Amino acid sequence: MREARITVPGLARKRRDGDKIVMLTAYDFPFAQILDRSGVDVLLVGDSVGTCVQGHDTTLPVTLDEMIYHCRMVTRATERALVVGDMPFGSYQRGVSAALDTACRLVQEGGVQAVKLEGGERVAEQIEAIARADIPVMGHIGLTPQSVHRMGGFRVQGRTESAKELLLRDARAVEAAGAFAVVLEGIPQALAPEITEALSIPTIGIGAGIGCDGQVMVLHDLLGLGDHTPPKFVREYVNLSEIVGKATRMYAEDVRLQKFPGEHESY
């Protein structure tokens, strides 16, 4: 029998019951289907598609139309996981009306059940408007990749007392505005449990240590797909670049030596 889809109230229950939330990024149909069938709770169609799939150095060039294209592939593949669509740079910074348009398009055209946007206090109005439209919205604070130029690189945030206070304020603002969960990215591991305790919504960490209600990882980092050195917080469970490279070299050799196709691979 098909398992019921994970819901926003279901994630709140997981936090209450102390069940950790498992979240991964997904960008296309085949991987989304594998992750859904593996029991991943939340699939984030992240704007990290820009760096993982499109070959950009940052997430900034990713457009809303591109996000919708990827959301459609992922939502078509999922039956159980809650799918969250990332709001790309430029699609909500212009104000509440732009943010609402973006969230509606991700739900209506992309088929997602929820959306995510980066920022704390400075995007509270946008979060409030989206939540008021009954679209579940996830916050994202700390190392927010769309702020790469302000931060001067992808740097751990919240290291000083004042930065820590700002992050706590951001977390409270995101919750007060109506977010159903918040991603904590790139912060000291001692700060994550403090934020988690200060909130009543689930916190989902990436590079934030163990003290969160769940964890999210970029799929291509977990799979070892890509030729960059992964950040410290990544655990590479397999090296797919090596495996795919080996398979490709074997195929090339077989073609060149006329060992492929064989009798049983021909009509």
List residues with catalytic annotation: 185
116 with 44: CB under 8 angstroms? yes
Give the residue with the Cβ less far from ligand KIV, 44 or 168. Answer: 44
Q: Candidates 26, 106, 183, 223: give the one binding ligand KIV (CB under 6 A).
A: 183
| Prior bond of 9 cis (ω within 30°) | no
Q: Which residue is nearest to ligand KIV (CB)?
A: 46
CA distances from 259 to 3, 162, 243, 248, 254 (A): 45, 66, 21, 14, 5
Any contact of residue 48 with ligand KIV (CB under 6 A)?
yes
Q: Write the DSSP assignment of 49-64 as a string of letters.
A: HHHHTS--SSSTT--H
| Rounded to 5°, angle at Cα 154 from 150 and 158 | 80
Q: Candidates 43, 173, 216, 223: give the one binding ligand KIV (CB under 6 A).
A: 216
Give the residue with the Cβ less far from ligand KIV, 171 or 216. Answer: 216
| Rounded to 5°, angle at Cα 109 from 104 and 114 | 50
Any contact of residue 51 with ligand KIV (CB under 6 A)?
no
Show the tokens assigned to 3.
């398992």
Residues 69-88 as x/- pattern, contact with ligand KIV by CB under 6 A: -----------------x--
Give the residue with the Cβ less far from ligand KIV, 48 or 75. Answer: 48
Residues lying near ligand KIV in the complex (CB under 6 A): 25, 44, 46-48, 86, 140, 183, 185, 206, 216, 218
